[in-house]
Amino acid sequence: MSLLVCSAGRIAAHLSHSPAMLQGFAGLTQLSSRMARMGIIGSQTPLMLYASSHRTMSSSSNININTDNNATAMEIDKNLTAEYAPEIADVLKQREEKAKRKQSMMGVITSTKNKKTITVLVQYDKEYPKYNAVLSRRRKFMAHDEEERGNVGDLVRIVPCRPMSARKRHALIDIIRKAPV
């Protein structure tokens, strides 16, 4: 076994010279290009790939690829998929959290009269470039509070979610500041 370190773009460029190599490492290039399309790696990101049996590409490239008749592209693809599974899951989780933060709104709870529901008043500034003015606007949202943690006056963060009722389409994520008692 030997270790191959190169980028997804260099794999595709070097393997296009040799049809036998291209067939043997088709799964590798497909996996690395899939990962590049998903945004997990860039096309020039270094990859560490395991292979077995010796073959040197061109003298200008300092890449040694070892291939074995027993190692198929499918086995390498499965090994790489298993190896990168935690990183892929972590990147997808970070993207989901970033999307939630982007859509989140901060507001003050104005009512907790309904069961598992809070009413949140969100204030925001709206710019009117035509009149060169910035006006302060307010809007009330009904949000789902499963554990009924919120009290009137708390500063909270809410995010959009699936519709829970006719007017309730947000969920309470966290309480930023408790109301003074």
92 with 136, same domain?
no
Start-to-end C-alpha separation, the chain: 67
94 with 169, same domain?
no
* Residue 143, domain extent: 104-177
128 with 61, same domain?
no
95 with 113, same domain?
no
Q: Give the total number of structural domains in the chain.
A: 2
27 with 69, same domain?
yes
125 with 150, same domain?
yes
Q: What is the pTM of this model?
A: 0.49
Instruction: Using the Cα atoms of residue 15, residue 18, residue 22 and residue 25 in order, give the sign of their dihedral.
Output: negative
Domain boundary among 99, 133, 165: 99
Query: Could you list the pLDDT tens digit for every one of the 181 residues in the chain?
Result: 333 444 444 444 444 444 444 444 555 556 566 666 665 555 554 444 444 333 434 434 444 444 454 556 677 777 777 888 888 888 888 888 887 777 899 999 999 999 999 999 999 999 999 999 999 999 999 999 999 999 999 999 999 999 999 999 999 999 999 998 8
